[in-house]
Amino acid sequence: SADGGGNLSLDSIPMGLPMSDPSAWATAMNNLGMAPMGMTGQPLLPDFDPALGMMTGIPPINPMMPGLGIVPPPIPPDMPAVKEIIHCKSCTLFPPNPHLPPPATRERPPGCKTVFVGGLPENGTEQIIMEVFEQCGEVIAIRKSKKNFCHIRFAEEFMVDKALYLSGYRIRLGSSTDKKDTGRLHVDFAQARDDLYEWECKQRMLAREERHRRRLAEERFRPPSPPPVVHYSDHECSVVAEKLKDDTKFLEAIQTLLTWIERGEVNRRTANNFYSMIQSANSHIRRLVNEKAAHEKEMEEAKEKFKLALSGILVQFEQIVAVYHSASKQKAWDHFTKAQRKNISVWCKQAEEIRNIHNDELMGIRREEEMEMSDEEIEDPSEMKETEESALVSQVEALKEENDSLRWQLDAYRNEVELLKQEQGKASRDEDTTKEQQMKLLQQALQGMQKHLLKVQEEYKKREAELEKVKEDKLKIETLLENLKEQESSMARVCACSQEKDCPVEKTLSNSPVKSEREVLLVGIISTFLHVHPFGASIEYICSYLQRLDSKICTAEVEVLMTRLQNTFRQELSGVGASLEKRWKFCGFDGLKMT
């Protein structure tokens, strides 16, 4: 029952169990991906490395500890696992035939911790089931049925994989051979509500953690919000006006001025204040122009320094190249070895290439300067005049700006009065203008649609002409294909007639059920084997005898060969009920009379 299985503790189960074959137990534990431990928890093999065969990224853990362990790695398909006999206190587990395919299992449910165990002995008890399956891990509950099956729930998911390893084992209670004390275990995944609920809870917790982590990352990389702009007041206006005159605080002040104007803070009462701030912003342009001129001077000085340094480097390169050329003359060249001459010639080429690159760079700088000088010579007379006029113009502009400011204030008042008058007259005019604009837009849209229709018609005619050409080509190709097929059919008839005349023997060989010398040998060996066994033998028994002679022989190949020779071998069913078995018999003497 579920309650009885859930209340079982590890202390109540005796752990000092006898073990007749320690090496077999160690091999079975190793196949389970577990450290070879005895029933008392002592290691059987002191040199065993617990890190082997475990998942990467997880430290080695003793799987025999309750609630701990890891999922064993999947067994490679080309290397069959060696399963050994497992001895327990009350029962013995015998491994299945290693040549049989692995037992089939259903699809693994998410978060599966429960297994279905079938094929239990009729006399099996919960204590025996606990004794067998507690080696796989901590058992939480056992639900046993009266029909020789049960459901076992483990503490962790990896324990299910260890329990599946026992699928296919034959269990025998004690030393009894009674059918009620024997059975063949079938272990499979089971779908349980508790497992699914725990898995969903874990997934929701992981999703919450991921959302929290993403939120923290977004907040970390989010740019800081700009400081809020203060609302307009007379005091704030005076502060911003002072900041506009300071170079260090000009950017902050100009941004507040821009936001105030966009908000619509300008009105009759504040117009003069805003005009004074705009005027101080305009005066900042002169400071920017002076800064630009200072930076241009610094850039020209840096250019001069670079040009002087480059010319000095070029002089040194010229001297180095002269040394290489003098060393390559015959007076000195004959005294050097071949390796030295090779190095000198390579160094000379490299130095000449670098010198030419630097020389081209210096010539480019000089050409740019000559171009600038020619432009300045053209512009010099006009610039002299402009400098004299600019002084007078700047004074006149300052006076004009003051006069204009007063005029703009007067014009603003006049414009407001005129706007009030005009708005009443425009209300009627706007309706007529909007109708005319709508008519013009509709006419333009109709003209565009007509042009588009004409283009579509032209494209349609072109496509029709192309389709007709394609159809003509297709008809030509079909006629050519029909002619080729007729020629091929006539050639095939001629070849078939010649082959029938030349090769009548090949047909008889191809129709024979035995296709090679190897199959003839197999038929002879199988006939002699079955002649010795007059009551017949199963296909597994026959293949086990043949595999002693040749390990490459496959059961499927032998069965196909015997089914083809129906007059030589015959398959019969023998036995009743559970002992029903298919056996092959030799019927060559009867088949000889039939043929």
Q: What is the pLDDT of residues 400-424, one digit of tens each?
A: 777 776 777 677 667 777 777 777 7
Residues whose CB falls within 8 Å of the CB of residue 268, separated by 6 or more in sequence, listed in order: 412
Residue 39's Cβ-side half-sphere holds a number of Cα atoms within 13 Å equal to 17
Q: Which CATH class is domain 86-201?
A: alpha beta
Angle of the 271-327 helix axis to the 338-502 helix axis, nearest 10: 100
In order of 27, 171, 523, 557, 564, the CA distances from 560 in angstroms are 38, 34, 12, 5, 6
* Helix (H) / strand (E) containing 115: strand 114-118
Q: How far is CA 544 from the centre of its chain?
A: 48
Q: How far apart are the first and last CA of the chain?
A: 66
Nearest partner of 553 among 527, 581, 584, 518, judged by Cα: 518
In order of 375, 450, 465, 467, the CA distances from 453 in angstroms are 57, 5, 19, 21
* Helix (H) / strand (E) containing 398: helix 338-502
Query: How far is the C-alpha of 579 from the C-alpha of 61, rounded, in Å?
Result: 46
Beta-bridge partner residues of 572: 583
Nearest partner of 115 among 166, 173, 69, 80, judged by Cα: 166
Query: How far is the C-alpha of 313 from the C-alpha of 303, rounded, in Å?
Result: 15
Residue 133's Cβ-side half-sphere holds a number of Cα atoms within 13 Å equal to 32
Q: What is the pLDDT of residues 270-320, one digit of tens each?
A: 889 899 999 888 888 888 899 999 999 999 899 889 888 888 888 898 899
In order of 12, 189, 215, the CA distances from 154 in angstroms are 18, 12, 36
pLDDT category of residue 437 using cuts at 50, 70 and 90? confident
Strands 170-173 and 86-87: unpaired
pLDDT at 558 over 80: yes
pLDDT at 501: 54
Domain segments of the chain: what residues? Answer: 86-201, 234-300, 307-369, 517-592
If one compares 221 and 29, the residue with the highest pLDDT of the two is 221
**Could you give the 3-state DSSP secondary structure of residue 371?**
helix
In this prediction the pTM is: 0.31
Please state which of the ranges 23-27, 361-365, 371-375 shows the lowest mean pLDDT. Answer: 23-27
What phi, psi does 537 have (nearest 5°)?
-150, 150
The full DSSP string for 489-531 is HHHHHHHHHHHHHH-HHHHHHHHSS--SHHHHHHHHHHHHHHH
Beta-bridge partner residues of 537: 584
pLDDT at 303: 87
Report residue 369 as tokens.
């300067």
Q: What is the pLDDT of residues 27-80, one digit of tens each?
A: 544 544 455 554 444 554 444 444 433 333 333 434 333 433 334 445 544 444
160 C-beta neighbours (distance < 10 Å), count: 24
**Could you give the 3-state DSSP secondary structure of residue 537?**
strand
Query: How far is the C-alpha of 98 from the C-alpha of 182, rounded, in Å?
Result: 20
Query: How far is the C-alpha of 498 from the C-alpha of 559, rounded, in Å?
Result: 38
pLDDT at 433: 79
* Helix (H) / strand (E) containing 171: strand 170-173
pLDDT at 531: 81
Report residue 531 as tokens.
């002649």
Nearest partner of 310 among 270, 354, 266, judged by Cα: 354
User: What percent of the chain shows pLDDT beyond 90?
Assistant: 17
CATH (residue range 517-592): 1.10.10.10
Residue 11's Cβ-side half-sphere holds a number of Cα atoms within 13 Å equal to 1
